[in-house]
Amino acid sequence: MYTEDDLLPISALQHYVFCPRQWGLIHLEQVWSENRLTAEGKILHDKTHSAEAENRPDIRIVRGLRLHSFRLGLTGQCDVVEFRKSANGVKLENAEGLWMPVPVEYKRGSPKIDACDEVQICAQATCLEEMLKTNIESGFIFYGRPRRREQIDFTDTLRMQTELIVEELHKLTAERVTPKAKYEKKCKSCSLFEVCMPEITGIEKDIEYYLSKAKTIEPQEEQ
């Protein structure tokens, strides 16, 4: 079990899966830079968190709920938690019956090719499970493009992937290690592109790379 001093932000998982170096620059070196994409994302989350809670006959909606897990050593905030009436749910204060918590994460863009969003919401669900002593089978990610929800099932595979990433982040945080860059197409959309300089610092261009390039150059005859 971790202590409060050990807790890592849930958002770190999303950053790490998207790019380990981005995670290191943000969470170890405290480097941050805004661009249009990050600004739009912040506006969306602020708007979601500031909306009032809603109570309907079969659903209660809570926004900006603070989360933690001392088992995994995580803390964070859930955009929305929908509590739905369910025989397998938990008791809520000032509410009759049982209610199943369902996390909902909002993203301004479209679904990613990697699992960064799925890992993030799975970590949120794990925190809710520990806090409320229940089991959550699925959650939702709402993507701005297209404007629709995608259901995310919290499978054993996804849970294991999430816990392995959390374990790695605790290890790297303790060692204060910022991973090297790996230059990819997605780098151009990163707000830290100018700070990271992946074209220069990328692991693909280490000494082995330059030696291999040198071997392909034909020697020039003296004139």
Q: What is the C-alpha separation between 153 and 140, in angstroms, rounded?
A: 9
Cα atoms found within 13 Å of the Cα of residue 71, Cβ hemisphere only: 11
Residue 56: other Cβ atoms inside 10 A: 10
- CATH number of the domain encompassing residue 152: 3.90.320
- The residue written with tokens 């050990």 in the block is 6
The per-residue pLDDT for 54 is: 75
Residue 222 forms part of a structural domain: no
Q: What is the C-alpha separation between 192 and 186, in angstroms, rounded?
A: 12
Q: What is the C-alpha separation between 128 and 134, in angstroms, rounded?
A: 8
The per-residue pLDDT for 52 is: 60
Residue 66 forms part of a structural domain: yes
Number of domains, the chain: 1
pTM summary value: 0.80
Full pLDDT tens readout for the chain, 223 residues: 899 999 999 999 999 999 999 999 999 998 866 544 444 445 455 555 555 667 888 999 999 999 999 999 999 999 999 999 999 999 998 889 999 999 999 998 889 889 999 999 999 999 999 999 999 999 999 998 888 999 999 999 999 999 999 999 999 999 998 888 888 888 888 888 788 888 776 655 454 554 555 555 454 444 4
Residue 221 forms part of a structural domain: no
Residue 223 forms part of a structural domain: no
Whether 7 and 73 have beta carbons less than 8 Å apart is answered as yes
Q: What is the C-alpha separation between 201 and 196, in angstroms, rounded?
A: 7
Residue 128 forms part of a structural domain: yes
Q: Helix, strand or coil for residue 145?
A: coil
Q: What is the C-alpha separation between 73 and 2, in angstroms, rounded?
A: 5
Residue 57 forms part of a structural domain: yes
